[in-house]
Structure 1
Amino acid sequence: MKDEGGKCSCDKGKTLISGECRPCEDGRFKDHAGTNSCEICDSKVIHGAFETMPGSESDKSSSKSCACGKGKYQDPRKTDEAPEVVCSDCMDLDLSQGVKCKNKGLTLKNLTLKDGFWRNSVESSKIVECDIVFSCAKEPGAPPTKLCADGHTGPICSACTDGYNKNEIEVCRPCASAGVSIGGIYVLFGVFATIVFYLVLRKILGKENLFITKIIQEITKATEDDKHWSKRLKT
């Protein structure tokens, strides 16, 4: 606390309350030292903001500490009022069920989408549902700037990036993948079954041919013996 011409002065982020310099209340800030009071985020920075950014409770010396509450996000739309951004309700977004909006301090740029939902950029408030859920699935902890699953790109993540191609269920997979696709497995199984069937059939037919040959040989021998005895009886 400093004395400025008989008045008590407080540092940034603090204001004079009952003769003591105390931190600004939640939803307020003070970006310079002096005798003035903390300013309200709602009227100076973000219309509708009465919260403090997570992690900045002890540092309210900047307007950056102002944040929208749970269920809301900073929407950079200009208004007729002083602030250039407002706290908008997540429920007002298109397909709001596809947005994770349970934390305070959210902005339009850091909104995280659930798997199966997409937007064309982090500056867009238009949310759409993906035709293929897997194409818009992100790994846990992925940044908001990651709009598609690995290997996917384009509108609604419907195209494959270089080095990827679509499999039978329209999911992009690496072209040089060590795994075998479902179609490939079917083809390999068909070829294997055909080879086995051919070998078994060949073995069976081989035995039948041998059996038939023996029968023919016996019939031929019997016929020759019959001719021999017929000649002897005639003589």
Structure 2
Amino acid sequence: MCETCSSGEYYNGVSSECKLCPKNTFTTSGAADINGCEACAEGGHSQPGTSYCDHCLSGKFYNQLSNNCELCPKNTFTISGARDINGCEACAEGGHSQPGARFCDQCLTAKYYDEISNECKLCPKNTFSITGANDISGCKPCANPGEYADVGSGYCKVCQQYMEFSETDQKCLCLDTFTRVGVEYGADGSCTCTFDNMKGSCIDVYEEVDNLTLSTTLGTLKIEPGYWRTGGTSIDVRECPVAEACVGGNGTDYCREGHDGPYCNLCADGFAKDPFLLCQSCNTTATSVVLSILFDLVLVGLLFGVGVLLKRNKAVYKRLKNGVKIISMGFQITASLPAVAPALPLPETSKEVVTTIQFFNADIFQLVSAGCISAGFNYFDRLLMVTLPIFLFCSALVLAGRKSKSNGSRFFDAAMAVLYLTLPTITTTVFGVFSCDTLDDERSMLRADYR
């Protein structure tokens, strides 16, 4: 007669006996072999040799040691219950759950779950979370040098152009050569260069320009006093030979009143240069020009007459001759200081002395404001007016000396005295022809006359 295994058992052909179905399987009427022991459905569990499966509720798993359904751990879940702890699935990245949860809650990007307050909080500054985080350790720090993240960021950012990240201040700061837009570091925390070259890029701030004005462009760039540039599109900022002539600013306001042209080195109509190369308002008439010329001629005549008288007393003449030369040369050098070294600072009293002794240079353009009489004077006119009259006058004296048998030496001495008196002015004027300057707008002109 055939025997049937009981519920929860299967027949083992090797041992020819009924054995219990394994754990987490069952059979309601016995089974012909082990394959007849059916596995428990998802979430079900059973002891060996049972005819049915028990089922843990959602959020629980079966603990074989305690033979009880227990809560799935924190940050895991199960929808239908689990036969063991392995069936409690971990929450996805950014998800979180309390023990015994059937599903996970999810913090949004840039947030992490705070267990104490049981809420999602923003990731701290300079950390980020792409999908949300289970806890604060899931807010990852920025990995690369120079990167930063604001509070509650889903990614790290690189400082904007012309900025760098400050480890001390923990924020992006403008480079030293650039000026910040706005007063505070807000959402629009960008920097603009102090001025750009009209090509979309920035240029470092020069010492010659005002770098305190915000959002300055090349066209509105302010030049510091003592400097000049050719125009609003030029990045070539140059030092003025006469610093007081250049008052700085922008646009057409680089020059002091009465000054104009390159380096503010020309005088406007109605102005003429004083001994210190500053343009002063004209107060000269044709009569004063003629009187000044006559004064110089009378002075030369007096010096010539004194020389003739002194020659009669040779002892006195020898003693005074060299002394007068030294004193005269000293006065000439002093009178030439403004033209030779215009940047040399002088006390006001010294300036008055220099102005007073200009006649020692015998320069008609310093003695009178000849530019006020004719606005058309340029450097070549000056060259002719300084050299040609002296050449003709000295030539006349030499010719007169050759014709005079008794007083020939006196005429030669007079010619030498005139050349000696005018030598500084003539040499300075002649050598001024050879020095040229090329501006960034491709204009080339004499340094002595920027016309």
- The TM-score range, normalised by the shorter chain, is 0.3 to 0.5
Provide the TM-score with structure 1 as the length reference.
0.46
Q: Which has the larger radius of gyration?
A: 2
Provide the TM-score with structure 2 as the length reference.
0.28
